[in-house]
Amino acid sequence: MTDTKYIFVTGGVVSSLGKGIVSASLGKLLQARGYKVTIQKFDPYINIDPGTLNPYEHGECYVTVDGRETDLDLGHYERFLNIQTTRANNVTTGRIYQSVIDKERRGDYLGKTVQIIPHITDEIKRNVKLLGTKNKFDFVITEIGGTVGDIESLPFIESVRQLKWELGKNCLCVHLTYVPYIAAAKEFKTKPTQHSVKQLQELGIQPDILVLRTEKLLNHDIIRKVALFCNVADGSVMQSVDVPTIYEVPLLLQKQEIDIRVLEKVGLQVGPTPEMKQWREFLDRKTNAKETVKIGLIGKYVELQDAYKSIDESLLLAAIYNDRRLDLHLIHSEKINDNNAAELLSGMDGLVIAPGFGNRGIEGKFAAIKYARENNKPCLGICLGMQCMVIEFARNVLGLEEANSTEMARNTPYKVIDLMEEQKNITNMGGTMRLGAYECVLQKGSKAWQAYGKEQIQERHRHRFEFNNEYKKQFEDAGMRFTGENPETGLIEVAELPELKWFVGVQYHPEYNSTVINPNPLFVSFVKAAIENK
Ligand code: GLN
């Protein structure tokens, strides 16, 4: 293929319609036809990246292999397409402005007034095309965050308009809108969609394909009506009805030939429709799984759907690959204590101790870990979860009562978790943690090694604190094993209690490395142990 094709995915009416899932699904369908596809997300906020946003603002923060803190939609892209994204796949308004301002200071625009058009839009367009030119992708899908009509997304929409003009046939726009069902009137309403498309047209963009999000199946009259009012061909109006799992969306859109419409519009040969065999097998396995596995996830953001997105999805994938339905219970760490731990946790087949920052809910995590350790309940600690496993062990097994992480208690007498040396002089908060993929060597015979089936692994990180190696011998003498280490620095990556059925803490985040086709082995092994524990 010669020219890279650019597909933009915009959203209208309301947010949270699942632009990320539609982008990932379309990407999957094109990939299944043999094209090299990547997806990027452009977010219209001023933060340089979402690393400094808390989950209440923005859900989970995803981390790429090359150490960029990004939007959680990149997790969907990776899970659907089985690809690795990089720092180039997530761009924010903040980053665009930073780059333009740096250029202005350098004198790149000497003599000129620096303006939104053309300087900001040129920078956006340069970033849109970056992946296409560098990596020679056949398709670059760009999801534009926010909703059309927002003040913040205007420069992005204007850039899409310019690119559609410049790239001609090599560019198209998929617009995702919402068709509500008014129960009292027993009617679907297409007006919000009409308005949203009109808004896009006023900004100079005629969408090529519409995807209508709906809670109930739309009949053909509705589709035809939308097509008529929005200048879009009948066959280019798709619907995306609520489905039990997001992983059904690619097949749903394939049935409506979204990929064929794209190929026709960019002038590529259509060819036979791919079978999506592996994908279908995965979905069959999900449907056929009858028995459940009950997992308790202990964290402090239980009321937020997206706070632990990648962990939830990784557990779901691991359950399916173990032929089980996932019955996931989010348990608020602030509500757990030594007195109620048994009552809250005994019904679970396995426990996951969530990552996190700061003091809130930390004591509940210790109580849950103590319960798991004393009752031999399979337990996976992730990042802060692993650090809590270490602290709990220090307090209750080694008798170091006030043991803590210096993140929680700066002056603890027993700093079993301490700030990493290279973090000690860091004052800036943004993008300065130990981020991205690092090597880890696993000890033969350990649970982690059994899970991965090899000694050398690479997993992604997001932390400032680490196990304090001064305590290593004391912990080992009491039965804890450190079975994964960074080969260069000796940083502890994995801690285990080998005499228990499955008790593993990892400093890294296995959830950032788990896809539909390649579920993370540690999650698969943990869920297997939970099933055996039933
Ligand atoms: N707060 C801990 C640290 O910075 C753990 C971070 C995490 O769980 N991602 O080391």
Say if ligand 1 is within 6 A of residue 463 CB. Answer: yes
Q: What's residue 1's pLDDT?
A: 54
3-state secondary structure of 170: helix
The alpha carbon of 494 and the centre of ligand 1 are apart by a number of angstroms equal to 14
Say if ligand 1 is within 6 A of residue 392 CB. Answer: no
Tell the residue nearest (CA) to atom 1 of ligand 1.
357
Catalytic residue among 76, 461, 463, 509: 509
The alpha carbon of 357 and the centre of ligand 1 are apart by a number of angstroms equal to 5
Tokens 């927002």 belong to 150
Active site residue 509: yes
Catalytic residue among 379, 383, 388, 440: 383
Ligand 1 atom with the smallest distance to the CA of 466 is 10
Task: Tell me how far apart the alpha carbons of residues 262 and 478 are, in angstroms, rounded to a whole number.
Answer: 61
Tokens 């020679």 belong to 136
Of 465, 491, 508, 512, the one to substitute when testing ligand 1's pocket (max ligand atoms within 8 A of C-beta) is 465
One digit per residue, the tens of pLDDT, for the chain of length 534 reads 579 999 999 999 888 899 999 999 999 999 999 999 999 999 999 999 999 888 888 889 999 999 999 999 999 999 999 999 999 999 999 999 999 999 999 999 999 999 999 999 999 999 999 988 877 899 999 999 999 999 999 999 999 999 999 999 999 999 999 999 999 999 999 999 999 999 999 999 999 999 999 999 999 999 999 999 999 998 999 999 999 999 999 999 999 999 999 999 999 999 999 999 999 999 999 999 999 999 999 999 988 889 999 999 999 999 999 999 999 999 999 999 999 999 999 999 999 999 999 999 999 999 999 999 999 999 999 999 999 999 999 999 999 999 999 999 999 999 999 999 999 999 888 999 999 999 999 999 999 999 999 999 999 999 999 999 999 999 999 999 999 999 999 999 999 999 999 999 999 999 999 999 999 999 999 999 999 998
Question: Please, what is the Cα angle at 514 between 318 and 302, to 5 degrees?
Answer: 70
Active site residue 379: no
The alpha carbon of 488 and the centre of ligand 1 are apart by a number of angstroms equal to 21
Task: Tell me how far apart the alpha carbons of residues 72 and 20 are, in angstroms, rounded to a whole number.
Answer: 9
Tell the residue nearest (CA) to atom 6 of ligand 1.
463
* Identity of residue 131: L
- 10 Å CB burial of residue 168 (0-12, 13-18, 19+) is exposed
Say if ligand 1 is within 6 A of residue 418 CB. Answer: no
pTM for the model: 0.96
394 Cβ contact partners less than 8 Å away, ≥ 6 residues apart:
400, 403, 414, 416, 471, 475
The alpha carbon of 391 and the centre of ligand 1 are apart by a number of angstroms equal to 14
Task: Tell me if 210 sits within 8 A of 232, measured CB to CB.
Answer: yes
Ligand 1 atom with the smallest distance to the CA of 462 is 9
Of 353, 461, 462, the one to substitute when testing ligand 1's pocket (max ligand atoms within 8 A of C-beta) is 462
Ligand 1 atom with the smallest distance to the CA of 417 is 10
Q: What's residue 480's pLDDT?
A: 98
Say if ligand 1 is within 6 A of residue 356 CB. Answer: yes
3-state secondary structure of 350: strand
Beta bridge partners of 459: 438
Say if ligand 1 is within 6 A of residue 385 CB. Answer: no
279 Cβ contact partners less than 8 Å away, ≥ 6 residues apart:
28, 32, 247, 250, 251, 516
* Identity of residue 414: Y
Say if ligand 1 is within 6 A of residue 365 CB. Answer: no
CA–CA distances in Å: residue 330 to residues 310, 379, 520 = 14, 14, 21
The alpha carbon of 356 and the centre of ligand 1 are apart by a number of angstroms equal to 5
Say if ligand 1 is within 6 A of residue 208 CB. Answer: no
Say if ligand 1 is within 6 A of residue 109 CB. Answer: no
Could you count the other beta carbons within 10 Å of the beta carbon of residue 500? 19
